[in-house]
A = this chain, B = another copy of it.
Amino acid sequence: MKSPRRSAADDSNTRTLLLDAAKDLMVEEGYAAVSSRRVATKAGTNAALVYYYFDSMDGLFLELFRRGAEQSLARQARVLSSAQPLWGLWDAAHDQSSNALTMEFIALANHRKSIRAEISSYSKKFRRMQLEVMSSVLETYGIDSQEWPPATIILMIAGISRFLLMEKAFDVDIGHADMVALVESHIRELEGERRTIHLALADLQD
């Protein structure tokens, strides 16, 4: 029986510093580099505090994932309700740093059940939200939902852009320009020129 610390100072400054440090470590050196000692050192504080705030390393990873998931979900909602939801979807999927984090969590999930369950339920929520909005959007664009089910559009955009990001992380970009041009020309046909701010840039402030 662990003591119930979940609600203890969710907005504590130290707590946030620890989460930020864990995130940076995970992106820069992979999840295996995220130990209580290294996180604490990077946050300029003490390793024991990780256990004070999160009970265990598992708890830390879980909270880190949840924090990111909530941000992504909120951004996604914003983007989908904009005047150019397809551009929004495409640009949002292009965020490099959040993608690197995602890849680490996917690998982590391979041996941490709690993470696995969390990613699963979050992904479903995410997808349901995309589907609901895009279904009506694509209908107003006059897309035949028999020939092009909304789910296929979403999966193509998500799949292609994640794949390009993964490859780019290894300096592989053969044919990427062609691929981007092709996708964007199709989006342009439906929503015209991109008018929203490139989210990949807006996210540099995170």
Contacts and interface: CB of A to CB of B under 8 A. Distances in A.
A33 interface: yes
A143 to B, nearest CB: 13
Interface in A139-156: 148-152, 154-156
A31 to B, nearest CB: 7
The complex is assembled from copies of this chain, and their number is 2
B128 A174 contact: yes
B30 A108 contact: yes
B178 A151 contact: yes
Contacts of A148: 182
A163 interface: yes
Range class of the A interface residue count: 35 or more
Given A156-B179, A179-B152, A123 B163 contact: no
A106 interface: yes
B171 A131 contact: no
Minimum-distance CB pairs A-B, first 8: A151-B175, A159-B163, A107-B107, A30-B110, A30-B111, A149-B178, A120-B170, A159-B160
Interface of A: 29-33, 100, 103-104, 106-111, 116, 119-120, 123-124, 127-128, 131, 148-152, 154-156, 158-160, 162-164, 166-167, 169-172, 174-176, 178-179, 182
